[in-house]
Amino acid sequence: MVNSTVPYFILSTYIYVGSLKYLFFVLIALLYFSIVFVNTSLIVVICVNRSLHEPMYMFLCSLFVNELYGSTGLFPFLLLQILSDVHTVSAPLCFLQIFCLYTYGHVEFCNLAVMSYDRYLAVCYPLHYKSHMTDNKVAMLIALSWLSPFLAIVVLMSLLVPLQLCGNIINKVYCDNYSIVKLACSDITVNNIYGLIATCLTILCPVSLILYTYMRILKICFSGSKQTRQKAVSTCTPHLASLLNFSFGCFFEILQSRFNMSSVPSMLRIFLSLYFLTCQPLFNPLMYGLTLSKISLTCKKTTLC
């Protein structure tokens, strides 16, 4: 049941730019089109080419699907707000956007953790890789990386929606859980406790797994042959770049949400809050498409055909 005391929210961070809003609309629309095009293209390439039906590429396909999901939760809303002179959003739509964006972020970390585990097995146990990473295990890991974040965010939303709110102004260009919790005039202890637990389980646990697997991979690289090091570098570099890019964006989002950054220019604050939602969906397909030779070669063959 949606909180009836606040029928809509006001997004106060939007800056009046006059006729420039049409330029921003075109730029954002082109970015969204590019994200949809490159992610969809790579999903199709992976699905239709049997040579890419391997665990590594199945996990990549899951990652690209998540990029489309997260982008769709943000960009259409952003485009409408840019053209609008009154930056309001209904409470149901606001809560829906929070659900989409938060599940996107949590699924992203889980996908990256599963991919690091896959690379760990491929580099550290190459002779037993196929026996460890079976089709059933791949399907189970992909399902787990999606279901666990969705369940976690469902509980988060069930705690957020019933809150009694004493305001309706959100200092963002999109809806955000923490911004709404700050508007509550009822007890938010349970929300804070669960938020901490959910963060530990859905972010710190995947990041810890990633750090552990990379420590083991580095150990193998330093003690292994030149061929082993080259294999590790070629397959792990895009994954590590993706993780750092996403973590960088999340860090700035948390920083500007939790602390007073009024001294920072408004446009920069908006850019930092949108970075992990706009750059990651385009960064991932370009990074993997350009650095993984098997994908780039398959794309070229598909284009030529």
The predicted structure's pLDDT at residue 62: 95
Torsions phi, psi of 155, nearest 5?
A: -65, -40
**Which CATH class, in words, describes the domain spanning 8-256+266-304?**
mainly alpha
40-92 tens-digit pLDDT: 989 998 898 888 888 989 999 999 999 999 999 999 999 999 888 888 999 99
Sign of the alpha-carbon torsion through 125, 235, 242, 74 = negative
Tokens read off for 140: 């189970």
- Residue linked to tokens 């007890």: 187
CB burial class (10 A; 0-12, 13-18, 19+) of residue 229? middle
- Cα separations in angstroms, 35 against 45, 50, 253, 285: 15, 24, 21, 8
Arithmetic mean of pLDDT over the chain: 85
- Supply the pTM of this predicted model: 0.90
What's residue 240's pLDDT? 84
Where do the structural domains in the chain lie, given as residue ranges? 8-256+266-304
Q: What gap in Å lies between CA 261 and CA 268, rounded to an integer?
A: 10
What pLDDT was estimated at residue 260?
67
Structure tokens at 132: 């460890």
pLDDT above 80: residue 105: yes
How would you classify the pairing of strands 8-11 and 88-90?
Answer: antiparallel
The SS3 assignment for 236 reads: helix
Q: What are the tens digits of pLDDT across the range 22-31?
A: 898 999 999 9
Structure tokens at 116: 């690091």
Tell me which DSSP letter residue 1 carries: -
Tokens of 41: 């293209």
pLDDT, tens only, 196-243: 888 777 778 888 888 898 888 888 777 766 776 776 777 777 888 888
Q: Are 18 and 178 in contact (CB under 8 A)?
A: no
Find the radius of gyration of the CA atoms of the chain: 21
Across residues 162-166, what is the average pLDDT?
Answer: 89
* Spatial contact of 77 and 55, defined as CB atoms under 8 Å apart: no
Angle at 43 between CA 40 and CA 47, to 5 degrees: 140
End-to-end CA distance of the chain: give it in Å, rounded.
52
